[in-house]
Structure 1
Amino acid sequence: MTLSAIIVLVINTAINIQYCYLIYKNKIQPALAMWLFFVVAVAISLATYLADGNFKPMDNILNTSDLVLVSVVMAFVLFRGEKSSRFTRFDLGCLAAVILVVVFWAFTHNHFITNIAVQTIMVIAYFPVVRRMLIERKNTESFTVWLAMSAVAGISLFSSKGTLASVYAIRAVACTGLLLLLMLRIEYLNRKEVALHTSNDSSV
């Protein structure tokens, strides 16, 4: 196992522990539906990657460790977290899209196209978070967690083997990076607004 792969495993394990701890302490209440979707999508991503070539799970270390991460988080949400959250139309739409992709895969055995389709759906899955942050103009995410996720995705590129492993990592880098930029922008605008109000109050 390469050094970069070991680093990916260590960071993803740390993210997993922290996330589960936050759930346990009721500091966050992630939706079960979202994590169920991620388990299915990440599993299909890894399965199609392995089927597309003579690869091993460790050749796509990010996808493999992500599958462990999302599975553990989903189990933790199921037993310790908020289970009453309903499936939104968006959740159902994502799950339906994944099912269609699986059906496509079953009939065509086109591993590459199926994998790319799943990556596209996983990009779309970020939309509700982005939309909520844009509407509320409030950063509801952890910089530490998302920085770690972005870093681990970038590091995994050094040990990724095959086009699909690289696509998975690049997709993760792009999504987490854009979300971090949005978080930074919201923080900047909020601090600017606070500073403006403070300045106006002091001048009165």
Structure 2
Amino acid sequence: MIDRLIASLDQSLRTVFGKNVSARPYPAKGIPETMERPADRRHAAALMRVNHSGEIAAQALYQGQALVAGQAATQASLMQAAREETDHLAWCAQRIDELDGRTSLLDPLWYAGSFMIGAFAGLAGDRISLGFVAETERQVVEHLEGHLHRLPPNDARTRAIITRMSIDEEHHGDTALRTGAAPLPGVVRAMMKYSARIMTRTAYWL
């Protein structure tokens, strides 16, 4: 447990304050930049700031769940998903830089709150923890699809990144279901959606 705590602390510092590096190719590579209007660039950067904050929260959720996971297989599955989320963090940050935007000022808050939620979910047992992953990813895919509709039509680079992220998130949810995720009560799903809405609306501006 001490080793897990040290690893979690190290990962939290790297996630929030470090420069994350993708292990996979940048999805927008080779796609021409077409965003010229300042208003469009600001809007796309704000959407990617929201996505970046969501990936910060996802990292924290997985780390919190992995910290208290009962089975080694569950922990390994959570850590693999976290590694793929690191790619998403790097992609979002790179696109934000390209659009002359910035990441959320509240990233440490998103991480701390999500880590605690993940730990509590993990303490409820591996099946509930995996159910939390499955529901989280379902809501994230829904959220990303909404962003695809809100993007400026000509922003092919951002669209490529979000599409790749959506595919990965759906895969994480399917993996959780295959490995024994338990369905969550409706009230829990509703609370998760409400909390995510607060974060996304705040991160768009801050």
TM-score higher than 0.5 here? Answer: no
* TM-score of the aligned structures, taking structure 1 as reference length: 0.41
- Greater Rg by CA: 1
User: Which structure has the highest helix share of the two?
Assistant: 1
* TM-score of the aligned structures, taking structure 2 as reference length: 0.41
